[in-house]
Chains A and B, each alone.
Chain A
Amino acid sequence: GAVVSQHPSRVICKSGTSVKIECRSLDFQATTMFWYRQFPKQSLMLMATSNEGSKATYEQGVEKDKFLINHASLTLSTLTVTSAHPEDSSFYICSAPQGDGSPLHFGNGTRLTVT
């Protein structure tokens, strides 16, 4: 069964609004979670690393004020896309390692469409 749950799977929002995406680890604690973005026919791009109890680490070129990450507990990380624009439309995927050396478990992804 799925070990990482991501919600919602699809969301359509209007330009200028904010959207929150949740990522939960099931049956294990994740001190670290990763947020990826994937545009059509392109590979995964790491946006940021979410760290429980501390600030997220953002990759170069990712605006931390636009993509707010909160890792409030050992099983939940949230990504909020603030003031969304059509160019933010993408497939957002979270993932978490179950332990050192273990593979990343991915959520099912969130298809965001900004109109």
Chain B
Amino acid sequence: GQNIDQPTEMTATEGAIVQINCTYQTSGFNGLFWYQQHAGEAPTFLSYNVLDGLEEKGRFSSFLSRSKGYSYLLLKELQMKDSASYLCAVKDSNYQLIWGAGTKLIIKP
């Protein structure tokens, strides 16, 4: 079956750095997405990786290793507004999006 694993919850301190990991086992691979979702709101797109390596976008970076079926989202200089759920999603060989359950990130002052 297809599976995406990410930690259920993480806690970090304002101003610090946090890395949220995602491992996947899917039938084929056509890209990996990270989304941010605040409570009660729809997800918003953060990043997209289809080739191995690091994609940097301001305070957020996303890394992909296709051979390891592994990605991480790195958040730097954490702000209180970064408290949210972070969803990892993979497009399989049929271009269907497979969603992880999300990681709830709690930022403490």
B residues whose Cβ falls under 8 Å from a Cβ of A: 30-31, 33, 40-45, 48, 50, 87, 95, 97, 99-102
Contacts and interface: CB of A to CB of B under 8 A. Distances in A.
B40 A111 contact: yes
Contact of B48 (A46, A91, A103, A108): A103
Given A43-B87, A43-B102, A44-B87, A101 B50 contact: yes
A108 B97 contact: no
Contacts of A105: 45
Contacts of B40: 91, 111
Interface of A: 6, 34, 42-44, 46, 91, 93, 100-101, 103-109, 111
B14 to A, nearest CB: 24
B45 A44 contact: no
B18 to A, nearest CB: 20
A36 to B, nearest CB: 9
A101 B100 contact: no
A42 B39 CA distance: 11
Nearest to B91: A101
16 contacts: A6-B42, A34-B97, A43-B87, A43-B99, A43-B102, A44-B43, A44-B87, A93-B43, A100-B95, A101-B50, A103-B33, A103-B45, A103-B48, A108-B41, A108-B42, A109-B42
Given A43-B87, A100-B95, A108-B42, 9 more contacts: A43-B99, A43-B101, A43-B102, A44-B99, A91-B40, A93-B43, A104-B45, A104-B97, A106-B43
